[in-house]
C-alpha cells in the first residue's frame, strides 16, 4: 500500500513538471505565431473560471476570513497580471529560458520575501540550493545580455518579474487558508473579471481572427491542461509526498521545456543553457527541502 502511494506520488510529481514544461512550450509557440498573450489569457483564465464556477460561487469572490492583502497577492501572483507578464516574455526568449528563470527565481524571491516579512531563514541545504539557483540564473542572464541570444534579455526580465509575482502568490496562498480548488477558483474568477476592462482597453480580442485549429489547441493547453489538470496533478503530488518533496519536481520543468522547445520549436540548446538547466535542477531540489526531509524521514524510521 505504501509503495503504491509513493509510486502514485512520484508519477504525479513528474506529471506536474511535464505539464509545466508543455505549457511553456505551447505558450512560446502561440505567442510567436498566431495568438497574442492577451488573447491566450482569455483561454487560460476564462475556461477554468467557468468550470470552477460552482466552487467560487460557494466560497465567494471575497472568501470569509481571508484578509484582503492575501487575496490581492494571490490574484496578482497567479492570475491575469502574472499570466500576461509570463506569456509576453515568451515572445522574446526561448522555452529553455522560461523554464530556468521561472523555476529558479521563484524560490529566491519567496525566500527573500519570507525573510523580510517573517524573518524566516533557510537552513544550509536550502541556502545551498538557492545559491545554485542564483548561479543558473546568472549564467543564463549573462549570456542574454552579452548577445549570445540577442533580444532574449527582454523575455528574461519579464520571466523574473513573473517569478516574483508567483512567489507572492505562494506566500499569500499559504497565509490565506484556502484549499487548492478554492484558491484556483477565486484566482480564475477574479482574473476573468479583470479581463473585461483589459479587453475593452485593447479594443477587443484577436481570437476570432486566429486559425480555429490553433484556438482549439490553446484552449486545451491553456484552459484544460495547465489551468485544471496541472493544478489537480500537483495537488495529488502534495497529498502523497508532502509539499517540499512535491515542489522538488519543479526542477524538472526546465528540462522538459528545453527539450520541448528543441523538439517542437527547433530551438537550440546551447552549452550555456545546459549548465543553467543543471544548476536550476540541483537548486530547486535542494531549496525545496526534499533531500533534508527525506534524510530526516529515514532517520526517524531507523
Q: Give percent of the chain with pLDDT exceeding 70.
A: 86
Mean pLDDT of the region 188-193: 94
Higher-pLDDT residue of 260 and 290 is 260
Which pLDDT band, with edges at 50, 70 and 90, does 120 fall under?
A: confident
CA atoms of 301 and 280, how far apart (whole Å): 30
Q: Model confidence over 157-178: pLDDT tens digits?
A: 899 899 889 888 878 887 888 8
Q: Answer yes or no: is pLDDT of 291 > 70.
A: no
Which pLDDT band, with edges at 50, 70 and 90, does 242 fall under?
A: low
Is residue 169 a contact partner of residue 147, using CB atoms and an 8 Å limit?
no
Q: Model confidence over 13-35: pLDDT tens digits?
A: 888 888 988 998 999 999 989 99
Which pLDDT band, with edges at 50, 70 and 90, does 301 fall under?
A: very low
Give the chain's domain count. Answer: 1
Burial 113-133 (b: 16+ CB within 10 A, else e): bbeeeeeeebeebbebbbbbb
Q: Answer yes or no: is pLDDT of 217 > 90.
A: yes
Cell of 296: 530526516
Q: Locate cell 522538459: which residue?
A: 256
- Max Cα-Cα span within the chain: 64
Distances (CA, A) of 190 to 5, 16, 99, 267, 289: 35, 24, 26, 35, 32
CA atoms of 181 and 242, how far apart (whole Å): 17
Q: Give percent of the chain with pLDDT exceeding 90.
A: 27
Q: Locate cell 484552459: which residue?
A: 223
CA atoms of 273 and 140, how far apart (whole Å): 7
- Give the torsion sign (CA, 122, 123, 126, 130): positive
Q: Answer yes or no: is pLDDT of 181 > 80.
A: yes
Q: What is the pLDDT of residue 68?
A: 94
Residue 274, domain extent: 2-301
Mean pLDDT of the region 250-275: 82
Q: Locate cell 513538471: which residue?
A: 17
Amino acid at each position: 500500500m505504501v509503495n503504491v502511494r509513493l509510486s502514485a506520488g512520484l508519477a504525479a510529481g513528474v506529471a506536474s513538471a511535464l505539464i509545466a514544461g508543455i505549457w511553456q512550450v505551447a505558450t512560446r509557440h502561440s505567442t510567436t505565431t498566431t495568438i497574442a498573450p492577451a488573447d491566450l489569457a482569455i483561454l487560460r483564465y476564462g475556461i477554468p473560471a467557468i468550470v470552477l464556477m460552482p466552487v467560487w460561487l460557494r466560497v465567494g469572490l471575497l472568501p470569509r476570513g481571508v484578509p484582503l492583502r492575501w487575496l490581492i497577492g494571490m490574484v496578482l501572483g497567479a492570475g491575469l497580471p502574472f499570466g500576461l507578464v509570463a506569456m509576453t516574455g515568451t515572445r522574446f526568449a526561448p522555452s529553455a529560458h522560461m523554464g530556468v528563470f521561472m523555476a529558479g527565481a521563484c524560490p529566491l524571491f519567496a525566500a527573500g520575501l519570507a525573510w523580510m516579512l517573517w524573518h524566516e531563514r533557510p537552513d544550509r541545504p536550502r541556502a545551498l540550493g538557492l545559491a545554485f539557483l542564483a548561479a543558473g540564473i546568472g549564467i543564463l542572464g549573462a549570456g542574454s545580455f552579452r548577445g549570445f541570444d540577442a533580444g532574449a534579455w527582454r523575455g528574461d526580465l519579464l520571466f523574473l518579474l513573473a517569478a516574483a509575482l508567483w512567489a507572492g502568490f505562494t506566500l499569500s496562498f499559504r497565509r490565506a487558508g484556502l484549499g487548492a480548488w478554492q484558491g484556483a477558483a477565486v484566482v480564475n474568477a477574479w482574473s476573468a473579471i479583470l479581463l473585461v476592462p483589459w479587453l475593452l482597453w485593447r479594443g477587443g480580442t484577436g481570437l476570432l481572427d486566429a486559425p480555429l485549429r490553433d484556438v482549439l489547441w490553446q484552449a486545451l493547453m491553456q484552459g484544460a491542461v495547465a489551468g485544471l489538470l496541472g493544478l489537480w496533478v500537483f495537488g495529488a503530488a502534495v497529498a502523497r509526498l508532502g509539499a517540499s518533496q512535491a515542489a522538488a519536481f519543479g526542477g524538472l520543468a526546465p528540462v522538459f521545456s528545453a527539450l520541448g522547445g528543441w523538439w517542437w520549436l527547433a530551438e537550440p540548446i546551447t552549452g550555456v543553457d545546459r549548465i543553467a538547466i543543471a544548476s536550476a535542477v540541483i537548486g530547486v531540489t535542494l531549496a525545496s527541502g526534499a533531500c533534508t526531509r527525506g534524510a530526516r524521514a529515514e532517520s526517524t524510521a531507523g
